[in-house]
Amino acid sequence: MRVAIFGAGALGSVIGALLSRRNEVLLITRGEHLKSIRENGLKVTGITEGIFHLEAESYYPGGYDLIILTVKAYDTKEAIENIKREYKGEAIMTFQNGVGIVDMLSNFDVIPGVTTHGATLISPGVVRHAGYGDTYIGEKNGEISERVLMIARNFTECGLKTEVVNDIMERRWIKAAINACINPLTAVLGVKNGRLLNENLREIMKCIGEECSIALKKRGIDADVYALALEVVEKTKENKSSMLQDILLGRRTEVDYIVRPFIDGKCNRIMYNLVKFLEEN
């Protein structure tokens, strides 16, 4: 299968490296990361180790079987415009953080996905596979189609264990809620995920998680968000959350897509405002 990873930063690069074991992979990225991959290959450390010599471009050239979107949520519209130039109806899978992404892709053949793998960009051309998580994909209408079963088999054979589910849209909401528990706290405090196991910080996580569970309940989704967040933290102790990485690099975060949907809760509103402060300063 020919797979294009659009937005190959930390997570996209790790996914691309894994999938290259059985597929022809193109990384679409930019800047020094693109230059380094072209000159030296992609170096992956951590759980996955190796140098992967993959094709890399700054745009989508067309002609692939599957496009995997891993761009920041706020860059989705720009990515869509880029893809549209050569789009011929190929499936687009989104592993992006936050809610509202699938709606933005309504004019495409979209396959929603969720993954909790941890990845950190160390330097241009070098990423760390910092945590092994769960990966789910499915049709947005809940159908268990042959194509998602085929894709899941392919991914699993590459070392990216993937399960097909009939409730992928609910899982995307749950993933956003889990991220709301973890990402803002790590970004504000400047710590890796594992530090959130501290007793004092767990209390804050619990408040955030309970508010998220209430918000999900209103959507007909039952989930103990706090318990699920603790599981993810355990699996990704050495990972720097994407929101922390953004703050450290002076970039905009995805807080509007991850925390804002749960902003009716007081703890979530506080975390939202703190991250916004960091963005502006």
- How confident is the prediction along the chain (281 residues), in pLDDT tens digits per residue? 999 999 999 999 999 999 999 999 999 999 999 999 999 999 999 999 999 999 999 999 999 999 999 999 999 999 999 999 999 999 999 999 999 999 999 999 999 999 989 899 999 999 999 888 889 999 999 999 999 999 999 999 999 999 999 999 999 999 999 999 999 999 999 999 999 999 999 999 999 999 999 999 999 999 999 999 999 999 889 889 999 999 999 999 999 999 999 999 999 999 999 999 999 98
CATH class of 170-280: mainly alpha
Catalytic residues: 175
Q: Token digits for 83?
A: 């893809």
**Largest pairwise CA distance in the chain:** 52
DSSP assignment of the chain: -EEEEET-SHHHHHHHHHHTTTSEEEEE--HHHHHHHHHH-EEEEETS-EEE--EEESS--S--SEEEE-S-GGGHHHHHHHHHTT--S-EEEE--SSSSHHHHTTTS-EEEEEE--EEEEEETTEEEEEE---EEE--TT----HHHHHHHHHHHHTT--EEE-S-HHHHHHHHHHHHHHHHHHHHHHT--GGGGGSHHHHHHHHHHHHHHHHHHHHTT----HHHHHHHHHHHTTTPPPHHHHHHHTT---SHHHHTGGGTTSHHHHHHHHHHHHHHH-
Between the alpha carbon of residue 126 and those of residues 49, 59, 95, 238, 239, the distances in Å are: 11, 20, 20, 16, 15
Domain residue ranges in the chain: 2-166, 170-280
Query: For residue 12, which amino acid is it?
Result: G
| Pick from 102, 235, 238: nearest CA to 178 | 235
pTM score of the predicted model: 0.91
Q: Which residues pair with 3 in a beta bridge?
A: 25, 66
Q: Are 242 and 117 in contact (CB under 8 A)?
A: no
Strand 42-46 vs strand 50-52: parallel, antiparallel, or unpaired?
A: antiparallel
Is 2-166's fold the same as 170-280's?
Answer: no
Superfamily of domain 2-166: NAD(P)-binding Rossmann-like Domain (3.40.50.720)
